[in-house]
Amino acid sequence: MKPITLITGASSGIGVELARIFARHGHALALVARRVDRLNALADEIERSGQPRPIVIAADLTQPEPSRAIGEALAAAGAEPQYVVNNAGFGLVGSAAKLDRVEQLQIIDVNQRALTDLSLAFVPSLERHRGGILNVGSVAGFLPGPGSAVYYASKAFVLSFSEALSSELRPRGIRVTVLCPGPVPTEFAERAGVKSKIAPGPLVHTAQMVAEAGYRGLMAGTPVVVPGIGNRLVTLLVRVLPRRMVLRLVGRRQGKRQSAAEQRQA
């Protein structure tokens, strides 16, 4: 079986940049998302650069056990994962009691359930190829998140799960890295309902910068990667500030985002 790098959420943002970086370093790819037209456009771009054309897999990660369909598609192409990159994810801004409950449960399906499924489903092939797992978390995983409660909680799961998995799989020669960026100006923010300035400038980084940091961290076997000094300071501060203060600060910030979204809808 040919070793490949499997990347979910590869139709936009950080996922696109991760695909470009892995391809540039000689990795054969399998790209997963719902929007096949975008995946094919990215596959064409990578092929034009002189790299092998990626495998394109259409998948809805809100459905149970996505690893089964993805695994079957890879097997049909004579491939198996050397690296699994769980980049797919989304969030919503607003009060949990007011936001659509089904959509919030889909956050859990994609950000937690699918990520867990794909992290565990291919461990034997990751071990055979001395590869690894890159899970895309967030600085939000270090914080409580009033105003985006389910999203923040989902990223706390990704952080905890990935750190534990790194410890468990290291003796088997498998690297596990969790990439925890701060705000990144991508379609992710628009889907969450954020179209205004997403954060103070020093905390914001491009998708390309974040993807490069994640790739370097995975190859080095670094368990947790937080791109940017400002974001690293945030993760340190929340450990020493009173929890009540952190809740108030995050709630105030999310409240401004929610108000901006409501004004646009009015």
pTM of the model: 0.89
Tell me the CA distances in angstroms from 27 to 53, 219, 261, one per residue in order.
Answer: 11, 12, 40
pLDDT digits (tens, 9 = 90+) for 43-52: 999 999 999 9
Q: Is 151 a catalytic residue?
A: yes
Do 114 and 158 meet the contact criterion of CB atoms below 8 Å apart?
A: no
Assess contact for 173 and 128: CB atoms under 8 A.
no
**Spatial contact of 80 and 122, defined as CB atoms under 8 Å apart:** yes
Tens of pLDDT, residues 160-206: 999 999 999 999 999 999 999 999 986 655 555 555 445 556 778 89
pLDDT 10s digits, 81-130: 999 999 999 999 999 999 999 999 999 999 999 999 999 999 999 999 99
Catalytic residue among 83, 151, 152, 215: 151
257-to-138, 190, 250, 263 alpha-carbon distances in Å = 18, 11, 11, 10
Q: State how far Cα 69 lies from the chain centre.
A: 20
**β-pairing, 224-225 with 175-179?**
parallel
86 backbone dihedrals φ, ψ, rounded to 5°: -90, 90
User: Among residues 145, 149, 135, which one has the least CA distance to residue 96?
Assistant: 149
What's the CATH superfamily of 2-265? NAD(P)-binding Rossmann-like Domain (3.40.50.720)
Side chain identity at 144, as an amino acid letter? P
